[in-house]
A = this chain, B = another copy of it.
Amino acid sequence: MDFELVRKTLQGQGFMKLIGARVDRIEKGLCELSVDFREELTQQHGFFHGGLTAFLIDNATTAAAGTVVREDRVVLTAEYKLNFLSPAVGERLVCRASVIKPGSMLTVVEGKVFAVKDGQEKLVAVALASIANVPAERVG
């Protein structure tokens, strides 16, 4: 798939704009997204919200799968699982997703989320996702 199409698809999402996330990198089998800290993205202790971490994983893993899908298919998130390792504290949250195994029906993708504090990255969440490759005409 055209990497620029993946980028534009992400940037065109209403939820991506509301959150203010950036597409930092799209390559074959890879996607990196990030978002800067602001009060609107926090949970009750002032950390980045876990739901924000999940959003980055959702979008980055699906986009990474989108870079390796056949031309006549589109990607849809089938499922993912994430583990939170540490509080997400810092000035920025970064998610890197990389394809573990492309498949004709399902692509398996790994996601890692890092909180950047004083310029230092710390791993705060890990994820495994299954992304479905669906015939383009089936999605409206």
Interface residues in chain A, defined as those with a beta carbon under 8 Å from any beta carbon in chain B = 9-10, 12-15, 17-19, 38-45, 49-52, 54-59, 62, 76-87, 100-101, 103, 105-106, 108, 110, 123, 126-128, 130, 132, 134, 139-140
Contact = CB atoms under 8 A, between A and B. Distances in A.
A49 to B, nearest CB: 4
Contacts of A42: 13-15
B106 A78 contact: yes
What is the count of identical protomers in the complex?
4
A15 B101 CA distance: 27
28 contacts: A9-B44, A10-B44, A12-B44, A13-B42, A13-B49, A14-B42, A14-B49, A15-B41, A15-B43, A45-B140, A49-B58, A50-B62, A50-B77, A51-B51, A51-B58, A51-B59, A54-B54, A78-B83, A79-B81, A79-B108, A81-B81, A81-B128, A83-B108, A83-B128, A87-B140, A108-B126, A110-B126, A128-B128
Contact of A126 (B44, B45, B87, B128): B128
